[in-house]
Amino acid sequence: MAYENLILAVEESIGTITINRPSVLNALNTATLQELKCAALEMQADDSVKVIILTGAERAFAAGADISEMMPMTAIQGAEHGRMGQDVFSTIENLGKPVIAAVNGFALGGGCELAMACDIRVASEKAKFGQPEVKLGVTPGFGGTQRLPRLVGRAKAKELIFTGDMIGAAEAHRIGLVNSVFPPEELMGAARKLATQIAANGEIAVSLCKRAINQGIEVDLGSGCALEAEIFGLCFSTEDQKEGMKAFIEKRRAEFKRR
């Protein structure tokens, strides 16, 4: 598929999706959201890709949804738009491959929600995060009221959402919204280093770990542990499990084949 708003690249098992609308700080209009879903599914289907990095061109990761597009919407259209964005972000969240958000600048509104749909967030020291929707007379609509409390806790999420305040990378790291912070010139190298480290492991095992965490966090501890046991057992039906444990015994590097 040809993309108008994204740039896709694959190099050494790492797929990179770059949102490329710098003139509007990579605002997420409907066309861009639809392209993001297609790109995510394309990366999922590409067997050469083990880890995905999502970032933005130039000064922003994504500075929110496209306000000019949303302004004339009716209540019904607004709800449909919210469901559409939620579907795109849920697709990214539930991919069978890890997704790292490399947040290089503004991640506001829908941009912050997009980053939260990724598995891991690394940020530039210049990155800015926030859910400023209340300043526009609306609520977050692409999952912000649900994912932010799960990441930073209910009270802090309410503070950020109720005030619409923007926070810097250091504060985002302090409250657990991002995993690590790097100088701007080191961000993509750090993201690729992390992706390479993940890609070296058993691909099936990493995918199953993601499933166990994502599904288990939504249920009680007992149910989550039961799910984990089932997924743990599934690993023993794979060639990768045999190879990984044999390589450990033989004190060599495992050669995983995604089987």
User: Which residues are marked as active site?
Assistant: 113, 133
Q: What are phi and psi of 95, to 5 degrees?
A: -60, 150
CA distances from 134 to 79, 98, 110, 131, 190 (A): 16, 31, 13, 8, 34
What is the SS3 assignment for 97? coil
Give the strands of the sheet with 51-56, arranged side by side.
6-11, 14-19, 51-56, 99-103, 120-124, 180-182
User: Alpha carbon of 202 to those of 26, 57, 145, 225, 246: distances in Å?
Assistant: 34, 31, 34, 21, 13
Give the integer Cα–Cα distance in Å for 200 and 216.
Answer: 25
**Residue 82's CB: how many other CB atoms inside 10 A?**
19
Q: To 10 degrees, what angle do helices 75-93 and 110-117 make? A: 30
* Distance (Å, whole) CA 188 – CA 192: 6
Q: Which residues are CB-neighbours of 36 under 8 A, at least 6 positions away?
A: 6, 17, 19, 28, 88, 92, 114
d(CA 119, CA 49): 16
3-state SS class at 12? coil
